Amino acid sequence: MKPQRILVVGAGHVGLYAALRLSDKVRRREAEVTVVDPQPHMTYQPFLPEAAAGNISPRHSVVPLRRELRRCRIVSGAVTRIEHARKVATVQPIIGPAREIEYDHIVVAPGSVSRTLPIPGLREHGIGFKTIGEAIYLRNHVLDRLDVAAATRDTETRRRALTFVFVGGGYAGIEALAEMEDMARDALKYYPELEQGDMHWVLVEATQRVLPEVDRDMGAYTVKQLIKRGLDIRLDTRLESCVDGVVKLSDGDSFPADTIVWTAGVKPSPMLDHTDLPRDPRSRITCLPTLQVVDGDRVLDGAWSAGDCAAVPDLTGPPGTYCSPSAQHAVRQAVRLADNIRDVIRGKAPTPYKHKHVGSVASLGLHKGVAQVYGIKLTGPLAWFMHRTYHVSRIPSFNRKVRVVIDWTLAFFLKREVVALGQLHDPREEFTEVTPKVPG
Ligand SMILES: Cc1cc2nc3c(=O)[nH]c(=O)nc-3n(C[C@H](O)[C@H](O)[C@H](O)COP(=O)(O)OP(=O)(O)OC[C@H]3O[C@@H](n4cnc5c(N)ncnc54)[C@H](O)[C@@H]3O)c2cc1C
């Protein structure tokens, strides 16, 4: 029998774990695995807030694909189209013309993108918080704004530079806001020109609560803690406009801000619009609990999906509920999905995915956190410690775990680094300035 061709679209939490598991559990003569992703690494997104805050090196919060997936063929590019009726995917490599890849099984896992709204000025002035590039840009930008505020004599410029607005109070938004504020507060020790009270950190959340992933009392605790730290928490409030960086809120308030971070949820990858795969009203690929793609009653042969882009029934909840878009589900679904592909290749029936969401852990800055795991509620340093131990146990590969623990240990003894490397975002500027133009 010829080896089955397995194509993995996206090497994130689902794609990387599925490819690793397939490498481990399927014999070479049974299957060959091709992984397509425009990035050369998987990003462990739960570590983005800590990477932005400088507790973890950016390189250590990502997992290099070529190093970890030695048994897979890696294609650096994006899948732009899937015609499952022909079992063909179109890949746009990072260089050169697009090409088609044929497959027997496809794992569709391109994840999600920021769910934005048509708010005036958002496109021009907002930034998301989903990629390592965004996290590190934000870190450098926030530290750079401290330098601007310290250098200027104009009070309006200073006020604008020191106003940081985060929109969306889920775990990504809350962790990003709390970690960045914690870092800036630390950094202020080295800025005699600035005072803690000069900074204005604002959370804008459309609903009446934050952290919907945990119980209300834990969300309320988080709000209380953030207010105690001097943060400006606006619940039941929406961002209405940010034209020219002037933030206008639905509560009638308006102020200029140099930093507007959008963390108000995610939606499935828009690449799915260019596929013939069935989707639900929220644009997610419809799946069976076995992670096979299903169109009504018809199971699509060789099509699999999981993670943020998939509607996977939650067998532990009431009928009609679906697994939440979380790393917790994504990595477990990936393992189930890989084992199911192996079983189907070997002529066995696939097994349904079943996992009861154990809860959430969130860091609110150094030694501060909130956790609700298996019904147990923790706050403060204990919750923060749980957040760290949980995520270090989850990041793939021993190599990354060691690097992350070393980063934390160094930051503990030597204090975290709070220097802006803004030059990284425009490294050729100085060189082009000193290099003469050649006429003609
Ligand atoms: C800041 C932040 C903090 C978070 N914290 C937590 C947490 O504490 N706990 C938790 O459970 N969850 C957390 N999450 C959510 C979690 O990270 C996601 O649910 C999870 O990453 C989903 O996995 P995925 O494989 O579906 O998508 P991803 O991990 O996003 O992977 C998608 C991959 O597909 C690639 N890709 C995209 N388009 C294409 C294409 N056209 N062709 C090929 N490849 C493509 C991307 O480059 C990426 O590598 C957090 C998310 C963020 C942003």
* pLDDT value of residue 358: 83
Q: Which residues of 43-58 are buried (b: 16+ CB within 10 A; e: fewer)?
A: bbbbbbbbbbbbbbbb
* pLDDT value of residue 422: 80
Q: Ligand 1 pocket, 287 CB below 6 A? A: no
Interatomic CA distance for residues 332 and 340, integer angstroms: 12
Structure tokens at 60: 């250590």
Q: How far is CA 193 from CA 157, 351, 352, 421, in A?
A: 14, 62, 60, 21
The residue to mutate among 326, 331, 360, having the most atoms of ligand 1 within 8 angstroms of its beta carbon, is: 326
Q: Ligand 1 pocket, 324 CB below 6 A? A: no
Specify the ligand 1 atom closest to the Cα of 9.
43
Nearest in space to 98 (alpha carbons), one of 84, 79, 82: 79
From the CA of 165, how far away is ligand 1's center (Å)? 23
Q: Ligand 1 pocket, 329 CB below 6 A? A: no
Q: Ligand 1 pocket, 114 CB below 6 A? A: no
Q: If you take atom 48 of ligand 1, which residue's CA is the nearest one?
A: 12
* pLDDT value of residue 423: 81
* pLDDT value of residue 360: 87
Q: How many CB atoms lie within 10 A of CB 326?
A: 18
Phi, psi of 342 (to 5 degrees): -55, -45
Write out residues in the chain with pLDDT < 50, as ranges: none
Specify the ligand 1 atom closest to the Cα of 15.
25
Q: How far is CA 395 from CA 42, 45, 203, 356, in A?
A: 10, 10, 28, 20
* pLDDT value of residue 375: 85
* pLDDT value of residue 289: 98
The residue to mutate among 44, 108, 171, 263, having the most atoms of ligand 1 within 8 angstroms of its beta carbon, is: 171
Q: If you take atom 16 of ligand 1, which residue's CA is the nearest one?
A: 327
Rounded to two decimals, the pTM is 0.94
For 116, counting Cβ atoms within 10 Å of its Cβ (0-12 exposed, 13-18 middle, 19+ buried), the class is middle
DSSP 284-308: PEEB-TTSEEEETTEEEEEEEE-GG
Place of tokens 């189209």: 81
